[in-house]
Amino acid sequence: MPGKLLKYEEMSSPQFSNLIREKTAFFIPISPLEGHGPHLPLGVDFFNAIHFADSIAKITVEKFPDFDAVVVPGIPLGTGVYRQPGSLRIGAIPLYELVRGIGESLASFGFRYIFLLSGHGSPKHIVAMEAACLKVSRKRGIHMHNLSGALAIRFLKGEFIDRISANLPRPLNESERGLFKSDIHGGWWETSMMLLLRPELVDENYKNLPSVERGPKTRSSDSGYFGTPSRAYKEFAEASLGVMAEEASLAVERIISGKAGLTETISPLYRMIPLRPYFRRNLYAILLILITLGLILLVFSG
């Protein structure tokens, strides 16, 4: 019997209970609502995450007909957002606890495969989700992964630009490749994504917006975006999505097939310990212990 593509919120408790634990994968979209310039909706990252989750879930069922894929309702929260009108933000610790709590809940029912999808590339956002995934995976002996972290870093570094270019009606020239490197927020790619997914929410004035490069004297509040929105076209989004969906679905395939471990999807950012959710709190605790020990030694030595 072929696997099913299911929506979490539409199932009843008996239907949920009847899912085969070892043959079910959950896909959870989670990204903040955040300002993306004067031309894009606040839900850019959120819409992208939901699309990624739906797409990878569908591909998973096609690749593994004996699996069911369950898409969880999108969670419009995240950390490390640009402070623009309309942006909603939570701290890294609440995000970590939220993701950990969801993972613990699903793991407590016996499910073994949980995948997060995000459209937000903030380092603290990525690391908080990765930390929660590792915590749940190790504690429960399951596979919980953030599929978007390492993938986002590779995308922003330009690793996929040749493949994307090859899938376009016209290959990118050197000037366009240069622009792509500084396109990090509300620019060419994200405007293209919204032209594909939610064109009715894109202000047509995007065609007249100038390029904005991020620099030490440039604040996000000045323009609300970094990049070149005027270059946007939906075919660019389609080509990008094709490459990223291929990479993400390959990671899922390796994990389900037992060819990948818990660190398969961990980004290089995770190695930067100050980015981890509890770093500051732990540092203060260590300093307090050292100060206390120092005072005790001082008292007794006197």
User: How far apart are alpha carbons 33 and 285 in whole angstroms?
Assistant: 33
What would the mean pLDDT of 84-91 be, rounded to a whole number? Answer: 93
Q: Would you say residue 18 has pLDDT above 60?
A: yes
Residue 66 C-alpha from the chain's centroid: 27
Q: How far apart are CA 255 and CA 145, in angstroms?
A: 9
Provide the residue range defining the domain that includes 251.
5-280
At 302, the pLDDT band (50, 70, 90 cuts) reads low
Give the SS3 label for residue 146: strand
What average pLDDT does range 10-31 have in this prediction? Answer: 97
Does residue 275 belong to any structural domain of this protein? Answer: yes
Task: Give percent of the chain above pLDDT 70.
Answer: 96
Q: Are 114 and 26 in contact (CB under 8 A)?
A: yes
Average pLDDT over residues 32-38: 96
Residue 57 identity:
A
- As a whole number of Å, the end-to-end CA separation of the chain is 79
pLDDT above 60: residue 55 = yes
| C-alpha closest to that of 23 among 57, 66, 61 | 66
CA–CA distance, 218 with 147 (Å, rounded to integer)? 31
The verdict on residue 138 lying in a domain is yes
What is the tally of structural domains in the chain? 1
pLDDT at 218: 59
Does 176 reside within a domain?
yes
Nearest to 117 by CA among 107, 109, 108, 125: 125
* Average pLDDT, rounded, for the chain: 92
Please compute the mean of the pLDDT values over residues 61-90 and round it to a whole number. 95
Tell me, what's the pLDDT at 207? 96
Evaluate whether residue 301 is within a structural domain.
no
Residue 291 counted as domain residue: no
pLDDT at 262 (0 to 100) = 85
Query: What was the pLDDT predicted at 197?
Result: 98
Q: Confidence class of residue 297 from pLDDT cuts 50, 70 and 90?
A: confident
pLDDT of residue 221: 56
Note the pLDDT tens digit of each residue in 127-151: 999 999 999 999 999 999 999 999 9
Residue at 285 is within a domain: no
Between 293 and 188, residue with greater pLDDT: 188
Confidence of residue 93 (pLDDT cuts 50, 70, 90): very high
Weakest-pLDDT range from 19-28, 32-41, 68-77, 207-216:
207-216
Residue 297 domain flag: no
Does any domain span residue 299? Answer: no
Q: What is the mean pLDDT of the segment spanning 100-109?
A: 98
Q: Which of 30-39, 44-53, 191-200, 257-266 has the lowest mean pLDDT?
A: 257-266
Report the CATH number that the domain containing residue 98 is assigned in CATH: 3.40.50.10310
CB atoms within 10 A of CB 200: 6
- Within 10 angstroms of residue 152's Cβ, the number of other Cβ atoms is 22
Residue 202 pLDDT: 98
pLDDT band at 3 (very low <50, low <70, confident <90, very high): confident
Question: What does each C-alpha distance from 22 to 10, 107, 127, 199 come to in angstroms?
Answer: 21, 11, 27, 39
pLDDT in tens, 236-290: 999 999 999 999 999 999 999 999 888 889 999 999 999 989 877 776 777 777 7
Residue ranges of the alpha helices (H) in 206-278? 220-223, 234-256
Q: What is the reported pLDDT for 76?
A: 97
